[in-house]
Amino acid sequence: MLNRDFELVEIAKDADAGCMAIIALHSTRSGPAFGGIRRWRYPSSEDALADALRLAEAMTLKCAIAGVPGGGGKAVILDRPDLPRDAAYRLVGRLVENLRGRYYTGPDVGTDAADLEHVAAETAYVARPGPEGPGDLAEPTAIGVQAGIEAVALRLGHQDLRGVRVAVQGLGQVGSRLARSLARSGARLVLTDLDQDRAAAFGRELDAEVVAPAAIVATECDVFAPCALGGVIDDETLPTLRAKAVAGSANNVLASERHGAELFARGVLHAPDFVISAGALIHGALYHLEGAAPPIERVRHIGQTVGEVLDRAIEERVPPEVLALQLARERAGAGR
Ligand code: NAD
């Protein structure tokens, strides 16, 4: 681990409250580090540290490809059944405050709006969901994904989204917003959610077909938009996929690198998750850096980046997620 290139790693305990958190800053060479707070039940503190490092490094690359003048950071809270949650988030808030702006944080897996208020009690360097902050970050995420899907549709030979058949998996924060905006653009939707009532209600509202969760990957469509969990494309699902493209908000859509290579070999266009789901980062980071919500075009630029990645991937005959990582490393290197 010591050979790896991190600016700062801090491991802190609040012994009285009985909680522990880790902050990793990968890089602040291009600007402050951005990255949310993950609360997770790790098998060991070593696993928590490894996750913080991995996620912080990934954020540097996500910033670089999104054109955000900043780097990667991450905070991790070691969860357990009787964790004093308020105290744990306040501990993170104090650590962030001590960094005096080198790190700006926000939501991630396990962190909700109430948790962020506890962080905000200790520091101003946090994206608050209310009117005092950048607002609801799922909205820019959905806008970025829509722009990415438009870029994909163009490469499938469509002028716009009218008549393009999109299968949306997961109608949560991002998927519900995406489905509504795709419907407004004239896409033909197929929807699913584990919550069948929710899926049925959206089906009625958007005049869309609804299928069972297990049927969505094998649905015949132009674009499969995973907006639920990671690892959706695996050994079991890949052979059943009948979409011409995969483009959604879910993190780590591919179960492994091999699955990406196989999609590419089959001619399925794949918009890499860390490119297409950067709307929240772009909006949140620019809000912090510029003191106001950025113009929506900054988020919609994701469409151009997705297009560039897909075009270069085809030209250079490498899977898009491999090409996107190369591009991000080049850009991160250029920012040094
Ligand atoms: P969410 O928890 O609000 O929504 C997820 C939805 O998916 C829920 O409605 C859930 O019932 C449904 N779901 C779960 N498993 C399913 C399955 N097997 N089949 C069908 N539906 C299923 O989450 P979200 O904030 O909308 O995020 C969705 C994905 O996008 C996640 O992978 C997240 O990491 C990623 N993401 C979110 C943001 C953001 O701004 N919220 C930003 C970047 C990436």
Q: Residues 304-336: pLDDT tens digits? A: 999 999 999 999 999 999 999 999 999 988 755
**Going by DSSP bridges, is the β-strand pair 71-78/33-34 parallel, antiparallel, or unpaired?**
parallel
Q: How many Cα atoms are found within 13 Å in the side-chain-facing hemisphere of 41?
A: 4
Give 187's DSSP letter. Answer: -
Residues with Cβ < 8 Å from 24, sequence gap 6 or more? 6, 8, 9, 10, 49, 52, 53, 55, 56, 73, 74, 76
For all residues of the chain together, what is the average pLDDT? 95
pLDDT band at 284 (very low <50, low <70, confident <90, very high): very high
**Going by DSSP bridges, is the β-strand pair 165-169/221-226 parallel, antiparallel, or unpaired?**
parallel
Does ligand 1 have an atom closer than 6 angstroms to the CB of 172?
A: yes
Q: What is the pLDDT of residue 136?
A: 85
Atom of ligand 1 nearest to the CA of 226: 29
Q: What is the pLDDT of residue 133?
A: 85
Does ligand 1 have an atom closer than 6 angstroms to the CB of 60?
A: no
- Ligand 1: distance of its center to the CA of 258 in Å? 24
Residue 1 has pLDDT above 70, yes or no: no
184-219 burial by CB neighbour count: b if 16+ within 10 A, else e? ebebbbbbbbeeeebbebbbeebebebbeeeebbbb
Atom of ligand 1 nearest to the CA of 171: 9
Determine the Cα–Cα distance for residues 326 and 330; give it in Å rounded to an integer.
6
Give 183's DSSP letter. Answer: H
Contact 6, 24 (CB under 8 A): yes
Contact 216, 192 (CB under 8 A): yes
Determine the Cα–Cα distance for residues 247 and 320; give it in Å rounded to an integer.
12
pLDDT digits (tens, 9 = 90+) for 23-64: 999 999 999 999 999 999 999 999 999 999 999 999 999 999
- Ligand 1: distance of its center to the CA of 283 in Å? 19
Residue 113 has pLDDT above 80, yes or no: yes
Out of 229, 254, 283, mutate this one to test ligand 1's pocket (max ligand atoms within 8 Å of CB): namely 229
| Closest-CA residue to 269 (of 239, 225, 300) | 225
Residue 293 has pLDDT above 60, yes or no: yes
Out of 111, 141, 252, 302, mutate this one to test ligand 1's pocket (max ligand atoms within 8 Å of CB): namely 141
More reliable by pLDDT, 128 or 123: 123
Whole-number percent of the chain with pLDDT over 70: 99
- Ligand 1: distance of its center to the CA of 207 in Å? 22
146-150, 200-204, 228-232: segment of lowest average pLDDT: 228-232
Mean of pLDDT values over 122-144: 91
pLDDT band at 135 (very low <50, low <70, confident <90, very high): confident
Q: Which of 13, 62, 74, 244 is catalytic?
A: 74
pLDDT band at 131 (very low <50, low <70, confident <90, very high): confident
Does ligand 1 have an atom closer than 6 angstroms to the CB of 101?
A: no
- Ligand 1: distance of its center to the CA of 156 in Å? 26
Atom of ligand 1 nearest to the CA of 273: 44
Determine the Cα–Cα distance for residues 131 and 136; give it in Å rounded to an integer.
9
Contact 77, 37 (CB under 8 A): yes
Atom of ligand 1 nearest to the CA of 138: 40
Does ligand 1 have an atom closer than 6 angstroms to the CB of 175?
A: yes
Mean of pLDDT values over 183-211: 98
Q: What is the pLDDT of residue 2?
A: 64
Does ligand 1 have an atom closer than 6 angstroms to the CB of 138?
A: yes
Q: What is the pLDDT of residue 151?
A: 98
pLDDT digits (tens, 9 = 90+) for 246-270: 999 998 899 999 999 999 999 999 9
Q: What is the pLDDT of residue 28?
A: 94
More reliable by pLDDT, 184 or 332: 184
**Is residue 74 annotated as a catalytic residue, yes or no?**
yes
Q: What is the pLDDT of residue 332?
A: 86
Q: What is the pLDDT of residue 132?
A: 81
Does ligand 1 have an atom closer than 6 angstroms to the CB of 227?
A: yes
Atom of ligand 1 nearest to the CA of 280: 40
Whose alpha carbon is nearest atom 20 of ligand 1?
Answer: 193
